[in-house]
A and B are shown apart, each in its own frame.
Chain A
Amino acid sequence: MEEPIARDAVLELRSVRKTFGPVVALSSGSIHLERGSIHALLGENGAGKSTLVKIAAGVYRRDSGEMRLRGEVVDFRSPAEAKRAGIAVIYQEPTLFPDLSVTENVFMGRQPLRSLRRIDRARMTAETISVLSGLGVSIDPDRPAMGLSIADQQVVEIAKAISLDAQVLIMDEPTAALSGHEVERLFAIARSLRDQGRSVVFVSHRLNEVFELCDMATVMRDGEFVASRRVDELTPSEIIRLMVGREITQMFPKTEGREPGRVMLSVDGLTRAGVFRDVSFDVRAGEIVALAGLVGAGRSEVARAVFGVDVYDAGEVRVDGAELAPTDPRAAISAGIAMIPEDRRKQGLFVDMSLGRNTTLILRRALARMGLITSSAEYRSATEWTRRLQVRSHDLDSKAGTMSGGNQQKSVIAKWLATEPSVLIVDEPTRGIDVGTKAEVHRLLDELAGDGMAILMISSELPEVLGMSDRILVMREGEITATLTRAEATQELIMTAATRHEVNA
């Protein structure tokens, strides 16, 4: 670990820590932001960038560590406090008031007043026009925020920050939803902000953007500060090495040397305009195939399309040789696919229902006798699966929403395994669960593969990807950019395939 170079700093965070229950989101975050610079904040998914940003922005409060603004120790209790102190965040998708005009969005809560505490509309509009034209942007200040493009919404946020005279602007993956020329416009704005002496923190996964725009880069990994360098002293492959350069010490319960069986899931040329293109892969019986990549690369969208939740424009999906009708999750279930979504509270569990009922929900048809489901049949089925998965809960009647994250995840898995699938799609199977349960989930996945199940595992955790899978597909911006075998895959290869964007090394 290197210490940040000590120089005149606008904003400085040192060894900042933040935990959510048992989950450590940030164990030691540091950044040293110089006046008049554009500073890249880099790291894999889950490296702690967003947590660091949210602490600086007053969304979270740190558990420990130091935060200084212009040398003074600060402790923000709300985003509004951070904003008043001159730190503004431009999120990927800004939060504006859709019904109100652009001008009101810029000035809400601090409108200029004249006599009788009236709002001075003329002055407000004039100032908005002057800020917007200073940014070189043409947006009608009187139009409502509703219907503005994401890029223009970001511009409104930036205008707000400037009219607040914010000295620190944090842009959290601002380019993810922008088109090419919108990115150019944003860069021009960021440079002019820098030239005015403001400081910009730029969070992005696109390395070429970092090299094009930024002066400094801070790399984080697993919730820790790794390094901070001048960008012109770095190369893309060095950044990737810093991002992934961990020792993998964790052991995975992976049975090696199994011979995979026949192709169970075959995806060919799957395309959805603007989301993913020409995605093709096979998953064989007894095989775990990982779908790696960064958040937003389109992995979950592919899974949802395969399962029939979302539409696709072209391509086909075959299960055990038979073509699967698109956009029909029921057909997918009866063909033997099970999908465990990432956001289990929203998509995987009915948190207000009992554990037992959750487990058997998808089996309603199989369990029903003359259209009625008897509690005892439901119980028998639920008991078996929750026992096999060691879901720790007092009884099958307790509400699913009251269980721990790990037990919720296991009961979602139980729910789907009860359908006895031949193909299992799991999206981020161990996100947000503790280490012990993680190991159990991994053991379970290995066991299921041993029983001949074909498993497609979406995962953003490189150790998990490398440790659990037989083959690895890497996606970047909607396309599969690499297919790696277990033997040849390394963290660097995966990250390179996941981030390289018109950068040649």
Chain B
Amino acid sequence: MSAVTAPERTFRRRVADLIKRRETSVVVAIVLVVALATSVNSSFAFGRDGWRNLLLTPSLLVVLAVAQAVVIISKNIDLSVSAVLGLTAYATGEMFTAWPSLPIPVVVVVAIAFGSGLGAVNGLLVSRARVPSLVITLGTLYIFRGLGIAWVGSAHIKPSDVPDSFERIGIASVLGVPVLTMVAIVVVIVAAFVLGSTRPGRELYAIGSNEEAADLYGLRVQRRVFFSFVASGTLAGLAGVMYAARYVMVDSQAGSGLELQSVAGAVVGGVAITGGSGTVIGAALGAVLLTTISRALPIVGVPDFWQQALVGALIIAAIVLDRVLANRHARRLVQEREPNVEPAEVAR
């Protein structure tokens, strides 16, 4: 028997791995889109507003895509994130109206906790009732949205309802980086750390990769799944607060449609819808790419009705690419193992 050949941890291999990563190709795509749009209209990336919007606009969807990635990695999905965002955004405004003396941090914390609570509802239903999360969260998407309509009615939060200092958070920048973008970056870093380097995080990957094996390993599957939904609700709550700060106008339909955009962002960023693989950094970059493309398309003169179709084509292309690469990878792994053996013999 030969001894273990130590894995080649050469610089070259690292570079090769980096180039092959999905994150890298998404970054390249973002750069290309920005370059293209800027060449048509230089204010897309340059100038004070251009730069700010470039960073600020994706930050909401980045947070939601990270929330979505956390649940998709464990082979679940959370379609209710947009409704949670809507409810918490409105709750934020309502608290300012009802108790004007409440300090902003308290309002923010309460609103986020509200999101956690809604996530816990999802988590309980999914982990206890053992019903597929697609069905559960589709249900809670409508329920939360319905509750919002019952609560808000035709009312809406106006800029005059919130304190100026809160409104300023939505547009403020520090050293050229908008505050909300910083929040999103912190979210990505924390989530990447938890999913990449802690037991609960790795266990989510394990559950998504093979739930039966996770049971056999003695992982607490239901508990982990429950907390992944709490995390997703919490992040959606945070996104709600960010929404309120950024747009200030909040009605009962705030955030509609973001649930699918967040799924799209995660998928484009390489989070496999079948669970077990992908990173939150990829999901965040996917969200940035999607937002940037939909802002760039009108600038480069793509007609309205083509824009959505293009985004759709991008999502499908990403999934097809995943499939093709995964197949090629699997074939290569088999070939490395038995270079001279026909597939039929391998099966035997």
Contact = CB atoms under 8 A, between A and B. Distances in A.
Contacts of B202: 100, 104, 108, 111, 119
A78 B218 CA distance: 8
A502 to B, nearest CB: 18
Contacts of B101: none
A141 B6 CA distance: 9
Nearest to B4: A133
Nearest to B346: A149
For chain A, what secondary structure do more than half of its interface residues adopt (helix, strand, loop), or is it mixed?
Answer: loop
Interface stretch (B114-122, B162-170, B205-213, B309-317): B205-213
Interface residues of B, number: 41
Contacts of B338: 149
For chain B, what secondary structure do more than half of its interface residues adopt (helix, strand, loop), or is it mixed?
Answer: helix
Given A117-B198, A149-B346, A141 B7 contact: yes
A274 B344 contact: yes
A147 interface: yes
B4 A273 contact: no
Contacts of A273: 344-345, 348
B333 interface: yes
A471 interface: no
A147 B5 contact: no
Contacts of A80: 216-218
Interface in A401-419: none
Given A118-B198, A273-B344, A129 B6 contact: yes
Contacts of A132: 4
A377 interface: no
A147 B210 contact: no
Interface residues of A, number: 45
Contact of B217 (A108, A113, A143, A148): A108
B104 interface: no
Contact of B210 (A84, A95, A117, A138): A95
Contact of B218 (A84, A97, A98, A118): A84
A109 B203 contact: yes
Contacts of A78: 218
A392 interface: no
Contacts of B199: 109, 111, 113, 117, 119
B197 A96 contact: no
A275 B344 CA distance: 10
Most B CB contacts (10 A, CB to CB) among A99, A100, A185 go to A99
A79 B216 contact: yes
B277 interface: yes
A234 interface: no
Nearest to B334: A147
Given A79-B218, A100-B276, A148-B337, A136 B203 contact: no
Given A99-B209, A117-B199, A109 B4 contact: no
A357 interface: no
Contacts of A368: none
Most A CB contacts (10 A, CB to CB) among B193, B206, B344 go to B206
A274 B6 contact: no
Given A97-B213, A98-B210, A274 B348 contact: yes
B1 interface: yes
A81 interface: yes
B331 to A, nearest CB: 8
Nearest to B274: A99
B347 interface: yes
B2 interface: yes
A139 interface: yes
B344 A143 contact: no
Contacts of B212: 95
B213 A136 contact: no
Contacts of A95: 210, 212-213, 216
Interface in A25-50: none
A492 to B, nearest CB: 30
B213 A96 contact: yes
Nearest to A152: B337
A99 B213 CA distance: 12
A140 interface: yes
Contact of B3 (A81, A113, A133): A133
9 contacts: A95-B210, A104-B206, A108-B214, A109-B217, A133-B3, A141-B7, A152-B337, A179-B348, A275-B348
